[in-house]
Every structure is written in C-alpha cells, then in structure tokens.
Amino acid sequence: MGFFKDDFYSTKVKRSSRETSGSWNRPSRWGRQNSALKIALVSSLASSVLVASLFYLTVDRPKSGSAAPAISSSVSGGYDTNEAIISAAAKVGPVVVSVINQTQGGSSNNEAAIQEGTSLGSGVIFLKQKGKAYMITNAHVIADSVKLQVVLSNGTKKTATVVGKDTITDLAVLETDDKGINQIADIGDSGKLRKGETVIAVGNPLGFSDSLSNGIVSNLKTTVPISLNQDGVYDWEEEVIQISAPINPGNSGGALVNLNGQVVGINSMKVADTSVEGIGFSIPIDDAMPIVDQLMEHGKIKRPYLGVYSMDLSIYLDNKAGSEDEAPSDDGDAEATPDSNGDDDDVPAGDELVIPDGVTDGVVVLEAVGPAKAAGLAFNDIIVSLDGHPISSTLDLRKYLYTKTKIGDTLDITYYRDGKKGELSVKLVEKTENDG
C-alpha cells in the first residue's frame, strides 16, 4: 500500500463503476495525467511547508525587537578608522608645540631652518605644575642654543628654558610658563603597540606647524646606529619604533600617537637617503619617560664613569694594514673613535701596539684618566672583556657601562698589555660635566 489509499491512487476500478448504462466507462488518458499532476503539486507543497516549519523551530533567531547589525561600505568590522584618526588628532593637537632654536652658527643637525641661525623642531607638553609647563623634545633640536621659544597650537609664542638634556638618548625637557596651556599629553603604553597598527606623527615638519601624517608600525624594535658627534663613526645604538609615517626635518621631538590619541613615542629621526621613503623612527615612550623623570630630577642622566679614551682594535688593524700597503715605513696612526665618555682623540705616537695572535676584537686604550688610571689601566692596553662579557668595540664598552652597571659598582676588566693577558678591577664613579 502506498502513502495514499488504494482507492485514490490505485489503477484498479471499483466494481460499481464498471457499468454505466450497461457499458464500461474507461477513464481518459488526460484525466489520469491531470490527477497525477495534482498529486505531485500537493505533495511538493506539503513537503515545503514541513521543511520550513522544522527550520523555523530548530534554527536560532534574533530576539524580538533586536536589529540586524548595520554594515557600512566604508567601515571594516564596524570601526571607522578615519573618524578615529580625526578624533586622535583633535586630542593631541593642543599638546604638540613648535620649538624655535636660535643658535650662533646657523641651523643645527639638519632641522628646518626658518632664518639664518635659527632652526625648528617640535615638542610635547606632558606636565603642568606650580605655574610651569614642561615639554619633551629631542636633544639635537636644542643643540647650540642661545635662545629658545615654543609656539603653541594657537600661535602663542613663549620663551622656554632647558631643564635638562641627554645626547645619548636624544631627549631633552623644556620649561615655560603655563599661561594659556590647558591640556597635557595622555601618555600611552608603547609596549602594547602591534605591528601593522595605525599611528599618527604630529609635529612641525619643514616649518608647517600642527601637521599630521599617518602610517603603520613597521617594526616594534629596530636598532639604529648613531654617531653622537656627527663624525660618521657610530658610537651608540638606539632601539626605536620603525614607522611608515614620514618624519621630515622639523618633526623631531613631536608626538607619535595611537588611535586613542595617546602618545606612544617621540619622533626622532629619518633615514636620510634619496632612495628611501616612508621610513621614520620614534623613541618608545616607555623608554623615554624614565629618562624624562631623571632629567626633571637631576637635569642630567647619572651614568657610571670609567675614564678611558679609546679606539676600536679593528679600526687600528684596518688603518695599519692600509698604511702598510701604501707606505711600509709608516706606523699607520689612525683617528680615534669617541671613548665611553663621548670624547675624541688621535692615536698618539709612541710604542708599537703589541697584539697577541688570534686577538682581532677589543678596545685600545689611548689614555686612562680618573678611575681607570687609578686602577692601573695604561696607554696601549687592549680591553677584551668587562665582567667576563666580550667587548669588541667602543660601542660595546659604552653600552655595557650604561646598561649593565651603575655608579659605585666594581667592574672587572680583562686586557692585554705587551701581548700578555691581565685583569684588574675599577670602581665606577659618577660622571661629571668636567669628565666630558
């Protein structure tokens, strides 16, 4: 038996229908086809209703009164990046200032010059207290300063003074009166930045005040070699945030902000190469603020002092090899690199440097003063390790001193003198202005 009753579906005919007026009335072909079509239509409709009912009962549906999420063609995931940038810019704009540095010898460090003897940079207002306002900027922005002014976002000019500066980290703090200054920067957390995150650089590029450029975080930690004395010799390394937002002359000292309008970096430099575009660098705010705190408290950064004027052994060997190729009778004196205290000197004439076999890296002592001299270091000693940590260059020596030791520590030095290995200990003292 099928789904329907046999009497309806079966081709059999009831006995009573066999006779009409004494004859057999056979159903026509069209009548049978028409009945089958009706049956198929009814079956299909019934099945559709059944499936729809089951779907309605089993599938989760929005609660009554809830609206479907809106989708905008210009917004990804419901977040409008353009509006976030506009909001962040409005928040940070009033706390970024232009810094006008009047010098005696013309524009300094390639910042944007507005007239002879004047250069421009940027700064960020981070503190107001006791009638004063304080700004972070770059140390190179205020180099060789005779007079400093800051220009607020509304055009107001104010005389500023230097609270403290540090050339190693390229940071400085300026002070002015707080009249007309109503906002300070919202300091963020650079440790929470993510690669690819949108950021905004705010500053005074090329003299265009209150300018914005946006980009992304290209690298969270890029190590950039720096020549402190601008002599082409790298004697420090800065760990910075690499960004695609352009950093032009005058941007230095300005703010790098996230889309919440929080300052996450202090813009410091740009790769100066005609073949390179869209690469900028910013000092992470997490690294900058401890330096700023020390500058506010002491006016400088207190660092341990060793007391050696030095040059890299590799540079000595390169220069010696070059001079021997050109003139065998020449001793091959070389120009010294800055020592751990940032000074320069020339390799003095004197006894021949004795280099043990296999020693190619180290730091040659050109002169020992202060603690180093008192401990027994002397001219032509080759320092190869500090506290057992290998030292291959003046940069290594300076970085170890400034990041691994503190004032009052005793530093164990391994060195070679006249080809013989020796060890001594030096008690580190505080570096003073007279120490260079």
8 A C-beta contact, residue 99 and residue 121: yes
Beta bridge partners of 429: 305
> Quick one: which H or E segment has residue 297?
helix 285-298
**Where would I find the beta strands (DSSP E) of 83-235?**
96-103, 112-115, 118-129, 132-137, 145-151, 157-166, 171-177, 198-203, 211-226
Separation CA 149–CA 130 (nearest Å): 20
Please list, in sequence order, all residues whose beta carbon lies within 8 angstroms of the beta carbon of residue 354, skipping any fewer than 6 positions away. 380, 416, 418, 419
Q: Alpha carbon 233 to chain centroid distance? A: 24
> Both ends of the chain: CA-CA distance in Å?
110
8 A C-beta contact, residue 178 and residue 90: no
Task: Please give the structure tokens belonging to residue 176.
Answer: 């002015």
CA proximity to 238, closest of 189, 195, 282, 197: 282
Separation CA 204–CA 252 (nearest Å): 8
Look up residue 27 and give its amino acid.
Answer: P
Catalytic residues, which ones?
Answer: 140, 170, 252
8 A C-beta contact, residue 215 and residue 244: yes
Separation CA 19–CA 61 (nearest Å): 60
**118: helix, coil or strand?**
strand
